[in-house]
């Protein structure tokens, strides 16, 4: 009787030990690429798809890079790889058009829009997420509705409004950097606010409640708790606002003068410039494109660790 009882009592323990050992052995021999993605696609097909995507992106980028160190005639003939390397294009672009002033105007305008929209968005989103008041849902729906309005439809109304303000007050808006800043901010702020609303919904309320019990005000909670925890969302909203001002051509063409042109307009002017009236200056166009892309690429490389967390915020609850 005692032998039967002893064997009965030890059998579950042995079974549990064998299961744990088998599980550890399975995890030890599990291949690092054995994920859900590789279960859906065979490994060879996955490698092929990735190679095609990389080639699809790399071929035009390399064409621009090679064209920037090639002569205009060679690029016009369709040469992909330059037969003779030259850096004269990177030297001539600064004298052909006002590329330097365009870069300064774009950095100042787009940078100010990024900082202002991120600062206003985080405070506005905090109020919309943590407080209940009349018209809150209407305001949130309005943020989404504003994203569906094309900027082309607002070009003429914005121009007319700014012209009337200048006529009534005598303050010139069109042709100034701050006028372009106000224009970009009206388009960047709704998107930045919605990004921050999505991000702040994922932050735990317990931290704010604990701080409020300790006597912290709403302003102190925002600056000492919410703001340090919201850097991924702030970076995402700021980068998208920066790109809005950096890539815009439509409003910057109408709302600027030759002294306040952004780099996007300068590139457009460079595209219509011809050397000797015959061959377009393709080499300088590609060199200028690479120079103008460097700030944006550097921005992504610096803040890439924040972008992943900010873009995926709110996707998993």
Domain count across the chain:
2
Note the pLDDT of residue 4.
44
Same domain? 142 vs 280: yes
83 part of a folded domain: no
* Residue whose structure tokens are 């809150």: 136
* Residue whose structure tokens are 């030297």: 91
Characterize the bridge pairing of strands 279-280 and 274-275: antiparallel
Question: How far is the C-alpha of 301 from the C-alpha of 46, rounded, in Å?
Answer: 26
Same domain? 25 vs 154: no
146 part of a folded domain: yes
Cβ–Cβ < 8 Å for 248, 264: yes
Q: For 280, list phi and psi in degrees, rounded to 5.
A: -60, 150
Note the pLDDT of residue 90.
92
Same domain? 3 vs 120: no
CA 10 to chain centre: 60
Residue 203 DSSP symbol: S
Note the pLDDT of residue 278.
56
Q: Which residues, given as ranges, of the chain have pLDDT below 70?
A: 1-39, 273-279, 308-317
Strand runs (DSSP E) across the chain, as ranges? 274-275, 279-280
49 part of a folded domain: no
Same domain? 134 vs 232: yes
Question: How far is the C-alpha of 225 from the C-alpha of 211, rounded, in Å?
Answer: 9
78 part of a folded domain: no
112 part of a folded domain: yes
189 part of a folded domain: yes
Same domain? 176 vs 288: yes
Note the pLDDT of residue 3.
46
Same domain? 24 vs 106: no
244 part of a folded domain: yes
Same domain? 183 vs 275: yes
pLDDT in tens, 48-100: 999 999 999 999 999 999 989 988 888 888 888 888 888 888 998 898 888 89
Cβ–Cβ < 8 Å for 159, 254: yes
36 part of a folded domain: no
Cβ–Cβ < 8 Å for 125, 234: no
Q: Could you tell me the residue range of the domain that residue 237 belongs to?
A: 97-311
Question: How far is the C-alpha of 80 from the C-alpha of 59, rounded, in Å?
Answer: 10
Same domain? 5 vs 107: no
Same domain? 22 vs 101: no
For the whole model, what pTM was predicted? 0.77
What CATH number is attached to the domain comprising 266? 1.10.3720.10
Which is nearest to 282 in space by CA: 150, 26, 59, 92? Answer: 92
CA angle at 270 for the pair 268 and 276, rounded to the nearest 5°: 140
């Amino acid at each position: 009787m005692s032998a039967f009882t002893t064997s009965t009592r030890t059998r579950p323990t042995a079974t549990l030990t064998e299961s744990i050992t088998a599980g550890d052995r399975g995890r030890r021999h599990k291949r690092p690429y054995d994920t859900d993605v590789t279960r859906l696609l065979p490994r060879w097909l996955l490698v092929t798809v990735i190679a095609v995507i990389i080639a699809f992106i790399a071929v035009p980028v390399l064409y621009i890079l090679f064209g920037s160190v090639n002569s205009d005639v060679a690029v016009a003939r369709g040469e992909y790889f330059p037969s003779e390397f030259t850096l004269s294009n990177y030297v001539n672009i600064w004298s052909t058009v006002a590329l330097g002033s365009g870069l300064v105007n774009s950095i100042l305008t787009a940078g100010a829009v990024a900082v202002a929209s991120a600062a206003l968005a985080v405070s506005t989103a905090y109020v919309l997420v943590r407080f209940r008041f009349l018209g809150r849902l209407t305001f949130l729906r309005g943020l989404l509705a504003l994203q569906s309005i094309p900027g082309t439809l607002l070009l003429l109304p914005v121009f007319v409004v700014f012209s009337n303000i200048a006529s009534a007050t005598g303050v010139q808006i069109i042709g100034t950097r701050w006028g372009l800043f106000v224009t970009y901010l009206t388009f960047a702020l709704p998107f930045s606010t919605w990004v921050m609303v999505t991000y702040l919904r994922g932050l735990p309320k317990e931290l704010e409640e604990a701080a409020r019990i300790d006597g912290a005000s709403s302003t102190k909670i925002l600056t000492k708790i919410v703001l340090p925890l919201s850097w991924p969302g702030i970076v995402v909203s700021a980068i998208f606002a920066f790109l809005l001002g950096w890539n815009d051509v439509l409003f910057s063409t109408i709302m600027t003068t030759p002294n306040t042109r952004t780099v996007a307009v300068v590139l457009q002017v460079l595209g219509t410039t011809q050397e000797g009236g015959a061959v377009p200056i393709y080499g300088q166009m590609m060199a200028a494109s690479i120079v103008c892309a460097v700030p944006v690429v550097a921005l992504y490389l610096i803040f890439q660790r924040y972008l992943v967390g900010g873009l995926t915020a709110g996707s998993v609850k």
